[in-house]
Amino acid sequence: MDSSGKRTVPSFDELPTLPDSSERHAWDVWGRDDELGSVNFIDAAKVRAAGALIQSGRVISLNLPLNEPSPGLFAGRSAPSHHIAEVGHGRDDYLDGFFLQFSSQWDGLRHVRFRQHGFWGGRQDSDIDERGEIGIERWSRHGIITRGVLIDAYRFFALHDLPVEQDENFRITPDMLDEILADQSVTVREGDVVILRTGWLGWYRDLQPEQRQALVGTVGRQPHPLACPGLHAGPDTAAWLWNRRVAAVAADNPTLEALPVDREIGFLHYRLLPLLGIPIGEYWALTELAEHCAQTGRYEFMLSSGVLDLPGGVGSPSNAYAIF
């Protein structure tokens, strides 16, 4: 705590490393019983400040339909089947095969562990399976309502004659993020949700059905794995996000980070979710948002995301909106 009684948050380089690893963790920042991770950075003041950003009342959805991408890119994850039943004088409906790691979504703190060290806070399987800890409902009940900032890398690279091929591994570094933010005349603040536009989803949605089908199951497949632009997966990116105290980070590609994963660099998912507690959003639909930001010159907005109150949930549809 500082002299005012406010909790002090260490910089990334001040965070401890795990035994037998150089990876840094934030398990003691809010205590090892914490179940929110960096969503803790969203307090009442951040919500009030986000509300003050609303000027025109324009609402932009950041969500794909629940049946997209079609077909599902990851083997085993497919679109849900929608059933409608006539009941009395009306109708009910339900979904079969509803994968919560599908369409525009959040990866929760139960999604991945870091080796033997466990999930967020060092939790092991018994903490999750027997005690029901770090379920997605914790984010739902706290709420992800805060300032959002779009980093439109796709537009920036195009305007500066650096077009990025959407079927190639292109790593967006922290220095690039800073350059784009400066070009957009916006900064990232504590409690923000940072949203990265790579252009991948727009490219994917323009593919022919047979081209989409050819990509199914290629994530991690050798010798021809899926390739796409995204964040550089290294510790410098994790440090950039942590040092700006972001509440969460999302992108319009399948994994946030660039693919394929380079084992020498590591997996950004492991650094963000179990070690730093930072939510990861994937497959966010950002074309309309990017067009509006470019037209108005405003890259900040109120971000509202209705996370499912699903006890024990691993992921959730993002149900996200930008409000201007």
What CATH number should be reported for the domain holding residue 205? 3.50.30.50
Domain holding 281, by residue range, is 24-323
The reported pLDDT for the residue numbered 88 is 87
Q: What is the identity of the amino acid at 89?
A: H
Question: What pTM does this model have?
Answer: 0.95
Please state, in angstroms and as integers, the Cα–Cα distance from residue 301 to each residue in 32, 54, 96, 136, 195, following that order: 32, 7, 35, 24, 11
Asked, for residue 66, whether it belongs to a domain, the answer is yes
Beta bridge partners, 259, equal 228
Residue 315 CA to its chain's centroid (Å): 11
Asked, for residue 187, whether it belongs to a domain, the answer is yes
Residue identified by tokens 């730093």 is 276
Asked, for residue 5, whether it belongs to a domain, the answer is no
Q: Alpha-carbon distance 292 to 299, whole Å?
A: 9
Asked, for residue 40, whether it belongs to a domain, the answer is yes
Asked, for residue 89, whether it belongs to a domain, the answer is yes
Asked, for residue 65, whether it belongs to a domain, the answer is yes
pLDDT tens for the chain, residues 1 to 324: 555 556 789 999 999 999 999 999 999 999 999 999 999 999 999 999 999 999 999 999 999 999 999 888 887 788 899 999 999 889 999 999 999 999 999 999 999 999 999 999 999 999 999 999 999 999 999 999 999 999 999 999 999 998 899 999 999 999 999 999 999 999 999 999 999 999 999 999 999 999 999 998 888 777 778 999 999 999 999 999 999 999 999 999 999 999 999 999 999 999 999 999 999 999 999 999 999 999 999 999 999 999 999 999 999 999 999 999
- Which distant-in-sequence residues (6+ apart) come within 8 Å of 196 by Cβ? 151, 153, 172, 230, 231, 249, 250, 251, 252, 256
The reported pLDDT for the residue numbered 1 is 55
Q: Alpha-carbon distance 190 to 32, whole Å?
A: 21
Count CB-CB contacts under 10 A for residue 162: 11
CA geometry: angle at 299 spanning 294 and 300, to 5°? Answer: 150
The reported pLDDT for the residue numbered 294 is 98
Count CB-CB contacts under 10 A for residue 2: 7
The number of domains in the chain is: 1
Cβ proximity of 71 and 216 under 8 Å: yes
Residue 291, token pair as written in the block:
């067009």
Q: Can you tell me whether residue 58 is helix, strand or coil?
A: coil
Asked, for residue 135, whether it belongs to a domain, the answer is yes
Asked, for residue 3, whether it belongs to a domain, the answer is no
